[in-house]
Structure 1
Amino acid sequence: MLARFLPWIFMLCMGMLWGVSFSVAKIAINAGGTPMGIAFWQAIVASVLLLTFTLARRRPMSLGTAQLRIYFIVGSLGIAIPGACFYLAAPHLPAGILAITVTLVPILTYCLALILKLEKIAWRRVTGILFGAGAILLLVAPESSLPSRSAVPWLLLACVSSLSLAFQNILLARWKMPGLGPIRIACGMNIAAAVMLLPVTLANDTLFLPEFPFGVIEWGVVGLALIATIAYTMFVMTVDRAGPLFASQVGYVVTLAGVFWGMVLFGESHSAWVWVSMATMLVGLALVSPRETSAAT
């Protein structure tokens, strides 16, 4: 009986974990953590956790030229760039709005697939792209949708994070992964991201060293790494048990949970424009998500 409901349990847990990550990031940065430093240390902690898990399963990392290329390219698009953009934008935007921008990832992924001629035009899904664009306009255009007009560039920077993740999705779908499973890819991505972020944080003098005993910043980093590791592992297990189509629907839970946690932890309240934007984005996500039955769509 439990096995039957396990994918749904994973879906709820993943959504709540990824949803709270927006608030955890704000807490760590508001406590004095630098965005680039948090991105670096999160990659380090996640690397240690994933590498320990991989070695415990007796599946050592593959370190050939092809694998290293995958780690560094996908690590830059999937962790280093979006992490830096996201954490830079986090202090300037409510956690709920950050959660809404993440819903752009599948919409932008389909948009890129159309541009690169990897997908055929399906008008239902093109309509989803238009809904996604409309949702962002509903956040940018009205005066009352954001805390201030100065937050608009930070909103667009958060959207760059989603665009980078969309590029990662395209590459993961197109590339062959020689001798690699999803957990080892995630481990290699985090190690590569840490290697790339280290010189950047040093050059910008934004690298901080953990203090003992741990304070808010350090526990925030550990929390973000644990969230990423546990939720990603659940995602892989959900794909294995229920398929990628079912697993992809976690985006709905993430967005709703992100808004919920922002309200609970920060007392955030949103204008009507934000709620309309969220509804519009969720409709866009529903339209873009592939249907199980048709190759034409």
Structure 2
Amino acid sequence: MSTHETLKPPAGGLFDPRMVLPAAMLLLLGGLWGLSFSLSKVAAMGGVHPFAYAWMQSTGAAIFLTLVCWHKGIPLEFSRRHLVFFVGAAVIGLVLPNINIITTAKHIPAGVMSTVVSSVPVLGYVLAVGLRIEGFRWACAIGIGLGLVGALMMVVPDTSLPSPDMVPWVLMAFLTPALYAFSGIFSDRMRPDGTHSLAAARGMLIVASLSTLPLMLAVDGFYPLMADPGPTDYAMLGQISISSVAYILYFEILKRAGPVFLSLVSYVVNLFGLGWGWVIFGEVHSAWIWGAVGCVFVSMVLVNLGRKAR
């Protein structure tokens, strides 16, 4: 989720016939990523340790992408620059966000988590301005303000969340999109020239797998997947499958339609995240949460429009 491409979308816009397949892929990707929040909640409620969750998810996807790269003849790169990139991107963009997701998922609704994580474009712009990578734009500034209003609507009113005890966990959940946003900037700056996107993802996932293994063993958090098959096991298998397939969809959409079109996935993830939360857990949100969803949606529109204008 953190690499960038320079390809442009087809000249015909969203209604160009060539955009039909990318649009279908975008909906599928958003549906899968939206489902992942509910699956992480199932895994957390089933007792999967955050370190075991991060290890299984990255290891399964790493094996899958290694096979894909081998089939495509994409070589492994072990230069110093590649290793720095893989380690940094893995820790910032995979390990820490995954651990934070599984830690907070047990305590807040899956739909709220999907709304929080969909704020990545907004936080990414804040970081880009703070690091002087991008300039100030009023549309983006207004979008940031609305995003802040949405965040406050989630945590300030006593009637917004099912329980006031969830407020600290919602605030902690915002660490995940902040890490994703910083990972995007790090990868854009540190990715070695000529690194294939699938090779970048494979390297990140291998490092994530290797770095979380000792953490999992140190806390004796290994989860015997499918030893006694149940909802928790199927949720983890689903997460591994999503991580594997999502990378293929992600890079294929980038190749066919470009990064501006791909940025629309944040909206799709939010909608599907809310929908899956209702289907699986029967989550019914307060008016405050729906107001927050609206604010976050509009904030993403303004920020994306401002960055596109650039």
Instruction: Place the TM-score, normalised by the shorter chain, in its bin.
Output: over 0.9
**Aligned twin of 1:41:** 56
Structure 1 gaps of 5+ residues are none
Structure 1 contact 96–260 (Cα < 8 Å) conserved: yes
Q: Given the alignment, which residue of 84, 96, 106 partners 1:69?
A: 84
Do structure 1's residue 252 and structure 2's residue 267 form an aligned pair? yes
**Aligned twin of 1:216:** 231
Structure 2 contact 153–292 (Cα < 8 Å) conserved: yes
Quote how far apart the aligned CAs of 1:2 are: 7.0
Change (3 A) 1:291 1:131: closer
Do structure 1's residue 280 and structure 2's residue 307 form an aligned pair? no
Percent identical among aligned pairs is: 33
Q: Give the whole-Å Cα distance in 1 for the aligned partners of 2:66 and 2:261.
A: 28
- Structure 2-normalised TM-score? 0.91
Quick check: 20-29 or 271-280, which moved more? 20-29
Q: Give the whole-Å Cα distance in 2 for the aligned partners of 1:210 and 1:249.
A: 34
Q: Give the whole-Å Cα distance in 1 for the aligned partners of 2:95 and 2:136.
A: 31
Q: Give the whole-Å Cα distance in 1 for the aligned partners of 2:225 and 2:158.
A: 40
Q: Give the whole-Å Cα distance in 2 for the aligned partners of 1:145 and 1:210.
A: 36
**Aligned twin of 1:235:** 250
Change (3 A) 1:251 1:293: closer
Structure 1 contact 105–163 (Cα < 8 Å) conserved: yes
Quote how far apart the aligned CAs of 1:220 are: 1.8
**Aligned twin of 1:196:** 211
Structure 2 contact 160–286 (Cα < 8 Å) conserved: yes
Structure 1 contact 28–221 (Cα < 8 Å) conserved: yes
- Could you report, residue by residue, the CA deviation over 1:114-157 in whole angstroms, capped at 9, with x for unpaired residues? 00000000010011111111111000101111121221121112
Tell me the SS of whatever aligns to 1:92. Answer: coil
Show the 5 A alignment for 1:24-173.
24-173=39-188
Tell me the SS of whatever aligns to 1:142. Answer: coil
Do structure 1's residue 23 and structure 2's residue 41 form an aligned pair? no
**Aligned twin of 2:8:** none
Change (3 A) 1:107 1:228: same
Structure 2 gaps of 5+ residues are 1-15
Number of paired residues?
295
Q: Give the whole-Å Cα distance in 2 for the aligned partners of 1:124 and 1:207.
A: 47
Tell me the SS of whatever aligns to 2:309. Answer: coil
Q: Give the whole-Å Cα distance in 2 for the aligned partners of 1:100 and 1:32.
A: 24
Do structure 1's residue 262 and structure 2's residue 277 form an aligned pair? yes
Structure 1 contact 7–241 (Cα < 8 Å) conserved: yes
Counterpart residue type for residue 58 of structure 2: A
Q: Give the whole-Å Cα distance in 1 for the aligned partners of 2:167 and 2:76.
A: 42
Structure 2 contact 158–164 (Cα < 8 Å) conserved: yes
Quote how far apart the aligned CAs of 1:232 are: 2.3
Quote how far apart the aligned CAs of 1:5 are: 0.7
Quick check: 5-14 or 56-65, which moved more? 56-65
Q: Give the whole-Å Cα distance in 1 for the aligned partners of 2:34 and 2:308.
A: 30
Q: Give the whole-Å Cα distance in 2 for the aligned partners of 1:188 and 1:216.
A: 30
Moved over 6 A (4+): none
Counterpart residue type for residue 5 of structure 1: V
Quote how far apart the aligned CAs of 1:252 are: 0.4
Tell me the SS of whatever aligns to 1:276. Answer: helix
Quote how far apart the aligned CAs of 1:213 are: 6.1
Quote how far apart the aligned CAs of 1:214 are: 4.2
Counterpart residue type for residue 234 of structure 2: W
Q: Give the whole-Å Cα distance in 2 for the aligned partners of 1:14 and 1:291.
A: 24
Tell me the SS of whatever aligns to 1:270. Answer: coil
- Structure 1-normalised TM-score? 0.94
Q: RMSD of the TM alignment (CA)?
A: 1.7
Structure 1 contact 22–258 (Cα < 8 Å) conserved: yes
